[in-house]
Amino acid sequence: MKILIINGPNLNMLGIREPDIYGKKTYSDLVELIESHAKSINIDVECFQSNHEGYIVDKIQQAYGNTDGIVINPGAYTHTSVAILDALKSVGIPSVEVHISDVDSREEFRKTSYVSLYCFKRITGKGFDGYLEAINEIATLK
C-alpha cells in the first residue's frame, strides 16, 4: 500500500515560530516520524510539501492510479482552495485531512475547510500524532 502525505504552505517552517500553536519540532522531524511509523506497519509513504497551490494540485493529479491514500494538511489553503478540493475529487483517492492545531477553536476563518467536503475523515489538534492516526485510518481500508 502506498500513501502520499501532502503538506501545504508554511509547514516547512514548523518549529521556527509559534511553538505554542504548532510545537517545537521541525518539518524534518515530522517526515522522520511519518517514515518510521509507515515502515513499522509496512506501508510505502512519500512526503511532499509545497507553498504553491498549483504544485499541490499537480501532485494530487500525479497520484492517480499509483496511490492508495492521501493524507493532506493543506495549511492555509484549507480555508480557501476549491482547486485542491476539485483535484482530490478528480482522482478519487481516499483521503484524510489533518491539522496540527485545533483549527475549530482558533479564528473564525480557520473553521472553513474546502477539502473536508471530500475527505472521509478530519483529524485536528493532535499535533504530529494526527498524521500517524490518518495513516492508520487509510491502512484499515486495505
Residues that bind ligand CA2 (CB under 6 A): 10-11, 13-14, 16-18, 22, 73, 75-76, 78, 99-101, 103, 110
* Residue pair 3/68 in contact by the 8 Å Cβ criterion: yes
Among candidate residues 52, 64, 99, 118, the one labeled active-site is 99
- DSSP-derived secondary structure for 50-84: -S-HHHHHHHHHHTTTT-SEEEEE-GGGGGT-HHH
Clarify whether 99 is annotated catalytic: yes
The type of residue at 55 is Y
For ligand CA2, the closer of residues 45 and 131 by Cβ is 131
| Nearest distance from C-beta of residue 22 to ligand CA2, angstroms | 5
Q: Which is nearer to ligand CA2, 73 or 95 (CB)?
A: 73
User: Could you tell me which residues are beta bridge partners of residue 12?
Assistant: none
